[in-house]
Amino acid sequence: MKYTPVTIIHTEEEYQAALTEYEGYFDDEPARGSPEADRFELLGMVLAKYEEERFHIPDADAVEVLMASMEANGRTQADLAELLGSRSRASEILNRKRELNLGQIKTLTREWRIPAAALIGVSEYA
């Protein structure tokens, strides 16, 4: 099969065309080491570069992450207070009067499985 070269994406139309081709590989992933596999990987890289430049994802807000995790897992402020050892501390954190400290982040990561990077406001790719 004859392909056009994979190039840097400059426009939304080029992005959509590359994305459509890339997604076409999902149902029939090419054999590792084949020319199709190389093309699949290259398309993924140029798509990622374009998306990184055009669709910046802001860093996480620790309180929003914490509250979303609590809601998703049926946890309450009382559960947070028990975990942190203080009702007032839990209240101060949720009301943005106090930031999480390293020990609290470690506890939340270990006990509630919230990624530490999300609690310190760092994106995965920073």
Q: Please name each of the domains of the chain with its CATH number.
A: 12-54 (no CATH), 62-119 (1.10.260.40)
Rg (CA), the chain: 21
Mean pLDDT, residues 58-77: 91
d(CA 68, CA 82): 18
User: The pTM is what?
Assistant: 0.54
Contact 116, 105 (CB under 8 A): yes
pLDDT digits (tens, 9 = 90+) for 103-112: 999 999 999 9
Q: Please report which residue ranges of 1-125 form alpha helices under DSSP H.
A: 12-24, 35-54, 62-72, 77-84, 87-94, 102-112, 116-119
Looking at the predicted structure, is the pLDDT value of residue 5 above 80? yes
Q: Which residue has the higher pLDDT, 52 or 47?
A: 47
Looking at the predicted structure, is the pLDDT value of residue 27 above 90? no
